[in-house]
């Protein structure tokens, strides 16, 4: 685009100089033939901008409000309070296969990435659990 603008400026300058420098009463000075190849300003292509979307964190749809996400190094949320009879669902959003292990010794099925497992909590109490793969990952379900 700068090339076209520079050529247009040269063309206009040559026209002005030729118009002012003509000898009085003489024949007009011929315009060099190379100027004829200059395109008009309307032929200059326009540049359009394209907006590039900014990546955002995708929210995972849950089946209920009682869903716990299993991440690579934590549970989200790591403490959940539910009413007696509620179902809590764990969804593996991490990269490693996971298994939930409860303090009473019960365990979930193995969950690969994007798989889930659910447990019904009928009795009030506090239920501690951890990841069988990464024991530093711990959580609590409070049933009221």
Averaged confidence pLDDT in the chain: 78
Q: How many residues does the chain have?
A: 144
> What are the structure tokens assigned to 12, written together?
């206009």
Q: Convert the pLDDT of each residue in 73-102 to its tens digit.
A: 999 999 999 999 999 999 999 999 999 999
Pairing relation of β-strands 100-102 and 125-131?
A: antiparallel
Burial class (CB in 10 A: 0-12, 13-18, 19+), 121: buried
Q: Convert the pLDDT of each residue in 14-41 to its tens digit.
A: 555 555 555 555 566 665 555 555 555 5
Among candidate residues 117, 141, 116, 113, the one with its CA nearest the CA of residue 129: 141
Return the pLDDT at 62.
40
The DSSP element (H or E) to which 102 belongs, if any, is: strand 100-102
Q: Convert the pLDDT of each residue in 112-142 to its tens digit.
A: 999 999 999 999 999 999 999 998 999 999 9
Q: Which residues contact 59 (CB under 8 A, 6 or more apart)?
A: none
Instruction: Parse the chain into domains and list their residue ranges.
Output: 2-43, 67-143
Among candidate residues 83, 81, 89, 68, the one with its CA nearest the CA of residue 122: 83
Sign of the CA dihedral 131, 98, 72, 119?
negative
Question: Which numeric CATH code is attached to 67-143?
Answer: 2.60.40.420
Question: Among 31-35, 53-57, 106-110, whose mean pLDDT is lowest?
Answer: 31-35
Q: Are 97 and 110 in contact (CB under 8 A)?
A: yes
> What are the structure tokens assigned to 71, written together?
């991440």
């Amino acid at each position: 685009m700068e090339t076209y603008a520079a050529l247009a400026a040269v063309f206009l300058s040559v026209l002005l100089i030729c118009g002012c420098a003509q000898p009085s009463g003489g024949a007009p000075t011929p315009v060099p033939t190379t100027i004829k190849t200059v395109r008009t300003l309307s032929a200059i292509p326009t540049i359009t901008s394209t907006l590039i979307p900014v990546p955002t964190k995708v929210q995972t749809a849950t089946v209920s409000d009682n869903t716990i996400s299993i991440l690579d190094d934590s549970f989200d949320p790591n403490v959940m309070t539910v009413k007696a009879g509620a179902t809590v669902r764990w969804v593996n959003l991490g990269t490693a296969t996971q298994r939930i292990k409860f303090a009473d010794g019960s365990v979930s099925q193995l969950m690969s990435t994007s798989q889930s497992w659910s447990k019904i909590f009928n009795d009030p109490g506090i239920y501690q659990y951890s990841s069988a793969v990464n024991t530093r990952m711990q959580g609590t379900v409070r049933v009221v």
